[in-house]
Chain A
Amino acid sequence: MKPEEFLKSSITEDFTLNINNDYRYLKTAYYVSIHAETLGSTVIPRGEDIIAAYRTPIMLLKASKAGIPAISYIVASSVKQIMSEIDFPVLLFAVNPFSYDGYKTAKNRSGLYRALKSLEMNYKFTVCAQPLRGEMISTNCIFGKCDQDNQVKRIAEQVYELFKIPICKIHVQRVKDVDYLCGLQPLKKQELSPRDLEIISDEVSRMSSQGERLVG
């Protein structure tokens, strides 16, 4: 069923799988989950999890509480605050309503000023600052599956178990052979590989055979 069709319907189902590449708050996929919840259906993903997953500090807090190795972070709004708590280089994720496209890195004070001015949208919002101590790995995460080594695969599975975001991209930092979750973001349609589409198709077939309602 198409999202627009589902949003106008009032059919109550026990379970709804909401498939979309972009689950951000205020986007169609978010409203699909909210509509399903209001109708009393169990839905993947839930509206609350969508908001939590895309707000980096909340996502990392929930992940570490669930035992997923997550990088340390601070929510900050000034260069001074970040420099007093984290040594360079620094990794920065936006905590504003508009940016969702990955992260920025800053190797020195002037780089940090530039990154903050952009991510805080002229100091209106905050950022999530993290230490950058190793190699960054970004991977598509489709129903908790990814084409990476076992350590990243395990994190992808755990992130899916916790937030149940079927289609997303995760950012992981490898520090001395240990991987830490750093962030999560939506995927653009063109970023989906043939292998990703295969996984989606398999998962949809599996759930359809169980008689579940699928929206996407």
Chain B
Amino acid sequence: MARIACFVEKYNFSDPREDRALRNFKAAAHSLGHQFDFMFREHIPQIPKYDAVFIRATTDPLYTAYVVSKTASELGLNVVDDPRSIQICGNKVHQYELFKKHGIPHIPTAFVTNQDLHHRKLIQIFRELGKPVVIKAPYTSFSRYVEKAACETSFREVARRFLKKSDILAVQQFMPTAFDWRVGVLNGEILYVCKYMIPKGRWKHGAKRRGKPTFVWGRTVALKKQNAPLTLREIALRTCSIIGNGLYGVDIKEVSSGYVVVEVNDNPSIYAGYEDLRNQDLYQKVIHHLVD
């Protein structure tokens, strides 16, 4: 019997779909004969008592989840998400550098710093990537800190806001599609495949309601993984192979020229009745991977 700690924060239980998914993980662990405890911040000193750590709280190298991941890794525990995956997936600039190096087909991307916000450079960016462009802060997650800009004024306004935290930003070509593919990958195998639909009149899966702090999310359409296009699955696996062998959610756009990777997320959303709808075995597979 292995002892698994699942690092969570209170907000992980605020959405009933995620709450149910977390309980499904627990049930899967119990059915396989393993102990599965939810570990909150106050239980971090108890990490050495466990054999594996599964992180479900939002990851970022600057968040507590990274401290948990790195501590568990330094102590020799199995950990999902591992620190290297958090380091790469938590920083989109790092990720796109790796995509370029390894020839992963991705959305045409440029990097900008504070010194690039002058007229000549912006004209060059718009000429290369077209109008509008998508400005992405490296620490983006859940569709936040990703905004469109169609003129120099809005480009500077968005970029200056994002540059307060990071010295480099990613700027990408705008590629509107009806949906983004989301391919769940675990240890070099496809775990699930979904279509994340873009809400009507929006351009991202999750879009902020105008003048309100809340988000509107598009539908999630789950597919049986074997029914997903082979090329899509191959690209997802090849992309994850340059990052590691953890649990990832690869976002891919299908355009006229083929498939292009949008980004790879560690700690991908898993909501009961959504990502797992056609792939109910994903819970057991994650537990197997943790105790392997």
Contacts and interface: CB of A to CB of B under 8 A. Distances in A.
B218 to A, nearest CB: 28
A51 B87 CA distance: 9
Contact of A58 (B71, B93, B115): B71
B246 interface: no
B111 interface: yes
Nearest to B67: A57
Contacts of A81: 42
Nearest to B100: A38
- In the A-B complex, the 4 residue pairs with the closest CB atoms: A97-B62, A26-B166, A77-B41, A28-B167
Interface of B: 41-42, 44-45, 60-64, 66-67, 70-71, 74, 83-84, 87, 91, 93-94, 97-98, 101, 111, 113, 115, 138-139, 165-168
Given A26-B166, A34-B94, A126-B44, 5 more contacts: A25-B61, A26-B62, A38-B101, A97-B60, A97-B63
A25 B45 CA distance: 25
B74 A65 contact: yes
30 contacts: A4-B113, A7-B113, A26-B91, A26-B139, A26-B165, A26-B167, A27-B167, A31-B93, A34-B93, A34-B94, A38-B94, A38-B97, A47-B87, A51-B83, A52-B70, A55-B66, A58-B67, A58-B71, A58-B74, A62-B74, A65-B74, A75-B44, A96-B62, A97-B60, A97-B63, A97-B165, A125-B63, A126-B44, A126-B64, A126-B67
A58 B64 contact: no
B97 A74 contact: no
Contact of B97 (A35, A51, A55): A35
Given A26-B138, A51-B87, A65-B74, A75 B98 contact: no
A76 interface: yes
A28 B66 CA distance: 21
A39 B94 CA distance: 12
A41 interface: no
Nearest to A123: B41
Contacts of A34: 91, 93-94, 97
A61 B74 contact: yes
Most buried by B among A27, A65, A74, A75: A75
Interface in A150-168: none
A42 interface: no
A55 B168 contact: no
A48 B111 CA distance: 21
A48 B84 contact: yes
A7 B168 contact: yes
Interface string A55-70: 1011001100100000
A95 interface: yes
Contacts of B166: 26
A75 B62 CA distance: 14
Contacts of B94: 34, 38, 47
Nearest to A22: B167
Interface in A65-110: 65, 74-78, 81, 85, 95-97
B144 to A, nearest CB: 14
Nearest to B115: A4
B70 A58 contact: yes
Q: Label chain A's interface by main secondary structure.
A: helix
Contacts of B113: 4, 7, 28
A35 B138 CA distance: 14
A89 B256 CA distance: 65
A209 to B, nearest CB: 30
Contacts of B62: 25-26, 96-97
Contacts of A62: 74
Given A4-B113, A38-B98, A47-B87, A95 B67 contact: yes
Contacts of A35: 97
A25 B139 CA distance: 11
Contacts of A61: 70-71, 74
A52 B84 CA distance: 11
Contacts of A25: 61-62
A28 B168 CA distance: 7
Contacts of A38: 94, 97-98, 101
Contacts of B138: 26
B170 to A, nearest CB: 12
Nearest to A61: B74
A96 B167 CA distance: 18
Contacts of B60: 97
A57 B165 CA distance: 22
A45 to B, nearest CB: 14
A124 B202 CA distance: 31
